Amino acid sequence: MHYQTLLQAIENRRSIYALNRDLPLPAGEIATIIKHALYHAPSPFNTQSTRLLVLFGCEHERLWDIVADVLRATVSADKFAPTAQKLAGFRAAAGTILFYEDSDIIAGLQQRFPTYADTFPGSADKADAMLQYALWTTFTAAGIGVNIQHYNPLIDAEVAKTWDIPAHWRLRTQMLFGGIAAPAGEKSHEPLDTRIRICGL
């Protein structure tokens, strides 16, 4: 692969909120992409503390029904309509990847390397972020739309109960994916000369 191919995928990567179930790849191939990214994504100290729950089809719908039920109990009835509309859009996607951190691994590292104990939770977040970006960019190259949501910790208990999630897995992010029903809008950029300094070139 020429590096410009990767640069183009990075440039094309956007948050796509209008998703549908018309995927350009079979679900099995998408699962293979997810496994490949999880296996090869870097993690600080090689912690490999990220855990995934991947939901397709009716299991994906079940998740967003749970989110709707939890929020319906939290958001006042007179303000729930916009929330319900937003959640219906998420439910219309093809699937969701839930990103977890294995807190047992982090605690073990904190005991083994007490000098760096305070850094390991942040390192785990960075590992999650690198995997998310790897998947997002790969999905973009494959013509799959993605957006990321954070309904944790509101949904944590019900999701854990529904899919028998271990108690030491901590939910961090929900990544939706699907066919692209409508492209992303325009994106603004801050000038590069205010964001980077290059020395010794």
| Sign, CA torsion 86/88/92/96 | positive
Q: Which residue has the higher pLDDT, 45 or 181?
A: 181
Mean of the pLDDT values across residues 55-68?
A: 98
Neighbouring CB atoms inside 10 A of 163's CB total 13
Q: What is the pLDDT of residue 83?
A: 93
The closest of 21, 10, 26, 16 to 138, measured between CA atoms, is 10
Q: What is the pLDDT of residue 22?
A: 97
Give the chain's domains with CATH numbers: 12-180 (3.40.109.10)
Q: What is the pLDDT of residue 189?
A: 93
Q: Contact, 37 vs 142, CB < 8 A?
A: no
∠142-30-12 over CA atoms, to 5°? 25
∠26-137-176 over CA atoms, to 5°? 60
95 pLDDT above the threshold of 90: yes
Q: Contact, 37 vs 146, CB < 8 A?
A: no
- Chain mean pLDDT for the chain: 94
Mean of the pLDDT values across residues 155-179?
A: 98
Q: What is the pLDDT of residue 60?
A: 98
Q: What is the pLDDT of residue 142?
A: 97
Neighbouring CB atoms inside 10 A of 114's CB total 9
Q: Contact, 92 vs 21, CB < 8 A?
A: yes
* 139 φψ region: left (φ > 0), alpha (ψ -120 to 50), beta (else): alpha
The alpha-helical segments, DSSP class H, found in the chain are 3-12, 27-40, 57-72, 80-91, 103-112, 120-141, 156-163
Q: What is the pLDDT of residue 79?
A: 86
27 pLDDT above the threshold of 90: yes
Mean of the pLDDT values across residues 161-185?
A: 97
1 pLDDT above the threshold of 80: no
Q: pLDDT per residue over 97-152, tens digit each?
A: 999 999 999 999 899 888 988 988 888 888 999 999 999 999 999 999 999 999 99
pTM above 0.85, yes or no: yes
Q: What is the pLDDT of residue 45?
A: 82
pLDDT band with cut points at 50, 70 and 90 for residue 164: very high
DSSP assigned state of 194: G
